[in-house]
Structure 1
Amino acid sequence: MSGLSNVERVGCANILNLLPEVDLRSLCDTVTNKMIVVEDITEAKDTILVFTKNAEELLKRKKVHRDLIFKYLAKEGVVMSPTSEKHQLVKKALELWSSRKAVVDVKVQPETDDTRPDSTNVKAEVGVDAQALGQQFCRWFFQLLNSQNLSLGQQPENWGPQHFWPNVRLRLLTRTGSEQIEEFEGAEMVNLRLLAMASEERLFFSPNLESHGLKVLVSPHGLLLVAVAGTIHRDGSCLGIFEQIFGLISSPLQDNNWKIKFVNLKIRGQDALSGTEVVAPALSYNSTDLQLLCS
């Protein structure tokens, strides 16, 4: 997960707004070791913030020039000498954010005798319960997707490409007698292919959110991997089982909402199961398999 506090994230985003596009893209390549290709400057800023370990590291990057930090501090009402060196400006920016974070922390203290900070604010600062987040994501995703199946009589919810990163990838492996592999790239294409499963093929996905059906892993770079197994149904009949891996990255510039970076979906029909437990299928992926997707 990103090591930036909410205050630092806002400050760093404001500094990134001062960078020209060419420098933003270059900085994004540096921060991610060229692991992620971004579509536009908004995604570049998001990605830089997600992959930044701490605020000082970002401020010391070569592309974050001395003049940018000076301009930022001036806009924030912090007066510095025009001859200040970069390390002095970095120190002042960190002090500014630290003081503001202290104010925020005081404000979120509950007005009770119990002085423990509110749990949601703690999670925003020091990390999240990954397993609980994975369960929450799966409930949200499959309810949203299943609502597009009109044969179920539900009101369709707000499905669309906005839930995916622009360069999202989908790999679909289907084993129903023969094996078929499909690959799609881009938010619109991935969105339409998944939508077709529910709306045109009338598939209903029932995830197994128990511990043997759900595994969640967080990479040091802020990638959340959610792997889930479940059953697939149509018109009341069980067609087989599925295993699905989601790669999620939060978008700091969009209220830290998690968006889908990639999807690997494996579907096995009844004739390809050969005695596999169908009622509550278990994942065949282990933690090592998931860690390879993080590397």
Structure 2
Amino acid sequence: MSGLSATERAGCVKILNSMTNADVISLSDTVTNKLIVVENITEAVDAILTFSKNAEEFLKRKKVQRDLIFKYLAKEGVAMPPNSEKHQLIKRTLELWLPGKVSADKQLKEENGPTETALESADMKSDAGFDPQVLGQQFCQWFFHILNSQNPSLGQQPEDWGPQHFWPDVKLRLLSRAGSEQMDEFLGSELVSLRLLSLTREERLLLSPNLEPHGLRTLCSPHGLVLVAVAGTIHRDSACLGIFEQIFGLVRSPLEKNTWKIKFINLKIRGQDALGGTEVAAPALTYNSSELQLLCS
């Protein structure tokens, strides 16, 4: 009898669907010790799910290659360092499949509903209980999930991206250091939306934010502006290209169900050449509190 939960079975099916037919048949023979004869892929998948003792055993199978798990996690919105070993990917996948565990993007969809255009402040209406750090984490999970979903190399359905997530006068300041330094500015929700979209859709970049305390910081101004600063790594396929630091200015829109919309973005990108071999697995913010406070004033 299968020891897989419904969540684990669904995840295993997604991984199996990314394998070749020959590998699925071979894995079925291994799992069943060739005691079950299957006639097609559907029967092979069913046999694997039925006779796998648990999810860890399934993930450790030789045919379930490291790259398959890495791509599965990426499609689920979980970006791992490209040099992660298979046992690290297995551990993260098992955490994702824990009972009662809801991925951040699904949780946000449940809270906001399928037609929401930005983070809603439904559970933060009481100023006394407002926690900017919680908002910052939820915002980053939401923002980078929908932006990364536009990357065609992930092979997933793109989420609802567009100018509706920004204020009409939003400003994007983009500083890139990859060999030479270049500064560009974009004004207006349409231009800013398109420029950010090109990072993932045309340039096929994957931005993985570090949501640990040293990688994420939030500040709140008396005038309603919430500043969210986050650091992270930039990937293309399995290669790590560098790191980024991104500062968002968020303001509530009372006319749109109190959703949070983006007022400005400062994005700083540093390529591997500019890092000088520095470890980039979990980059920390280099902005200090004084610098962030100036943006809040």
TM range (shorter): 0.5 to 0.7
Say which one has the larger Rg.
1
Structure 1 residue aligned with 2:92: none
- List aligned pairs for 1:102-141, cutoff 5 A: 123-141=125-143
Q: Which amino acid aligns with 2:281?
A: V
Scaled by the length of structure 1, the TM-score of the pair is 0.58
Q: Which amino acid aligns with 1:198?
A: T
Query: Partners of 2:129 and 2:284 in 1: how far apart?
Result: 27
Does residue 220 of structure 2 align to residue 190 of structure 1?
no
Offset at residue 210 of structure 1 (A): 0.1
Offset at residue 154 of structure 1 (A): 1.4
Offset at residue 125 of structure 1 (A): 4.1
Query: Partners of 2:256 and 2:286 in 1: how far apart?
Result: 34
Query: Partners of 2:215 and 2:125 in 1: how far apart?
Result: 25
Q: Which amino acid aligns with 2:231?
A: A
Cα deviation, 1:154-182, whole Å, max 9, x if unaligned, reads 11000000000000000000000000111
Structure 1 residue aligned with 2:231: 229
Structure 2 residue aligned with 1:104: none
Structure 2 residue aligned with 1:168: 170
Offset at residue 129 of structure 1 (A): 0.8
Seen in structure 2, the aligned counterparts of structure 1 residues 255 and 200 have a Cα distance that, compared at 3 Å, is same
Structure 2 residue aligned with 1:262: 264
2:285 to 262, 283, 286: 283
Seen in structure 2, the aligned counterparts of structure 1 residues 121 and 169 have a Cα distance that, compared at 3 Å, is closer
1:294 to 280, 293, 296: 296
1:209 to 201, 211, 222: 211
Moved more, 126-135 or 262-271: 126-135
Offset at residue 123 of structure 1 (A): 4.4
2:245 to 243, 246, 249: 243
Query: Partners of 1:275 and 1:290 in 2: how far apart?
Result: 27
Query: Partners of 1:259 and 1:234 in 2: how far apart?
Result: 28
Cα deviation, 1:34-90, whole Å, max 9, x if unaligned, reads xxxxxxxxxxxxxxxxxxxxxxxxxxxxxxxxxxxxxxxxxxxxxxxxxxxxxxxxx
Q: Which amino acid aligns with 1:143?
A: H
Structure 1 residue aligned with 2:80: none
Seen in structure 2, the aligned counterparts of structure 1 residues 128 and 278 have a Cα distance that, compared at 3 Å, is same
Offset at residue 128 of structure 1 (A): 1.1
Q: Which amino acid aligns with 2:187?
A: E
Query: Partners of 1:147 and 1:122 in 2: how far apart?
Result: 27
Structure 1 residue aligned with 2:152: 150
Offset at residue 127 of structure 1 (A): 4.8
Structure 1 residue aligned with 2:202: 200
Query: Partners of 1:137 and 1:215 in 2: how far apart?
Result: 12
Scaled by the length of structure 2, the TM-score of the pair is 0.58
Offset at residue 249 of structure 1 (A): 0.1
Secondary structure of 1:290 counterpart: helix
Structure 2 residue aligned with 1:22: none
Secondary structure of 1:262 counterpart: strand
Secondary structure of 2:235 counterpart: strand
Q: Percent identity?
A: 73
Seen in structure 2, the aligned counterparts of structure 1 residues 130 and 236 have a Cα distance that, compared at 3 Å, is same
Query: Partners of 1:141 and 1:244 in 2: how far apart?
Result: 12
Q: Which amino acid aligns with 1:140?
A: W
Query: Partners of 1:166 and 1:138 in 2: how far apart?
Result: 21
Secondary structure of 2:248 counterpart: strand
Offset at residue 236 of structure 1 (A): 1.2
Secondary structure of 2:126 counterpart: helix
- List aligned pairs for 1:23-42, cutoff 5 A: none
Structure 2 residue aligned with 1:180: 182
Query: Partners of 1:260 and 1:249 in 2: how far apart?
Result: 7
Offset at residue 254 of structure 1 (A): 0.8
Query: Partners of 2:279 and 2:257 in 1: how far apart?
Result: 40
Secondary structure of 1:196 counterpart: helix
Higher relative contact order (CA 8 A, sep 6+): 1
Query: Partners of 1:125 and 1:178 in 2: how far apart?
Result: 45
